[in-house]
Amino acid sequence: MKRQKQSNWWVYLILFGGILLMLIPLVMTIISSFKPTREITGNFFGLPQEFTLANYERLFQDGVVQYFMNSAFLTIAGVALIILVVPMAAFSIARHMDRKRAFAIMYILLIIGIFVPFQVIMLPMTKLMSTLNMNNQFGLIILYLTYSIGQTLFLYVGYIKTIVPVEMDEAAAIDGCDKFTMYRKIIFPLMKPMHATVLIINALWIWNDFLLPLLVLNKDQNMWTLPLFQYNYQGMYFSDYGPSFASYVVGIIPILIVYLIFQKNIISGMTSGSVK
């Protein structure tokens, strides 16, 4: 055992190096958020000569709370709608795709959207949303649901086919449960690890998304999200790095807390469907 541990020292060395590569940018972002822009441009890797909260005060003066709440609303509403709608479709497809060709074709058509580059549909999507007068937060939430279907449906269908046996449906039917009651009380709670996985994947995407809000919400500054607000500090000839790094810290904290809360369920959800 001791020889095995000694022979694996390089594995721990690589892991330690990976940890440093991930932590160094985070630490430098936090440190830079307490430095004025002139210090950041003059000596990026140095410690601040004097820690200052001026960057955070600037954020609040510029209305960061409003943009933070806009991002929080879009993230919570988008993820809730995804977890509410997609598992129902996944359950129906998973139970019928092996026996009915229509469900298999529907499944293929839905997940094929994963392979369509966003740049291909970007301009038609913008034109359609403008024509429907949906250049608002409601329209953006619908878009998040639409673009999440491919990947999320793929994850849920694989999880249901592997982890949730058909015998549970039969047992529930014998007990007198209708389809919706069976799904709501039995199937949906059993998918908790996959719910956590889907929550983190989509929450991280929606919270950090820049392009869709830029295309849909850019006409009204009051509807800006946090990434759009952060971009406001970047100019063609000058970038105000102090408030930028402070805004990055504000943006990192919520998603980091959510990840730490659900990390065990995420690992379970990603591994449960890998072995039958």
CATH code: domain of residue 185: 1.10.3720.10
Question: Is 39 among the domain residues?
Answer: no
| Residue 17, in any domain of the structure | no
pLDDT of residue 266 exceeding 80: no
Residue 255 lies inside a defined structural domain of this protein: yes
Work out the number of other CB atoms within 10 angstroms of the CB of residue 263.
12
Q: How confident is the model at residue 259 (pLDDT cuts 50, 70, 90)?
A: confident
Backbone angles phi, psi at 239, to 5 degrees: -125, 130
58-72 mean pLDDT: 92
Beta carbons within 8 Å of 265's beta carbon, 6+ residues apart: 192, 193, 195, 196, 197
Q: How far is CA 208 from the centre of its chain?
A: 8
pLDDT band at 265 (very low <50, low <70, confident <90, very high): low
Distance CA(184)–CA(248), nearest Å, equals 39
The number of CA neighbours under 13 Å toward the Cβ of 72 is 12
Is residue 249 in some structural domain?
A: yes
- The pLDDT of residue 180: 84
Q: How many domains does the chain have?
A: 1
Say if 200 falls within a structural domain. Answer: yes
Task: Quickly state the pLDDT bin for 44 (edges 50, 70, 90).
Answer: confident
- Looking at the DSSP assignment, which residues form a beta bridge with residue 124? none
Q: 151-175 burial string, b = 16+ CB within 10 Å, else e?
A: bbbebbbbbbbeebeeeebeebeee
Residue 43: per-residue pLDDT: 81
The answer, yes or no, to whether residue 139 has pLDDT greater than 80, is yes
Residue 251 belongs to domain spanning: 55-272
d(CA 244, CA 208): 14
Q: Which two tokens stand for residue 244?
A: 């930028």
Percentage of residues in the chain having pLDDT higher than 90: 25
Q: Which residue has the higher pLDDT, 259 or 30?
A: 30
Report pLDDT digits (tens) over 151-195. 999 999 999 988 888 888 778 788 777 888 888 888 898 888 889
Residue 274's pLDDT is what?
Answer: 41
Asked if residue 126 lies in contact with residue 218, where contact means CB atoms within 8 angstroms, the answer is: no
- Is the Cα dihedral 22, 26, 28, 29 positive or negative? positive
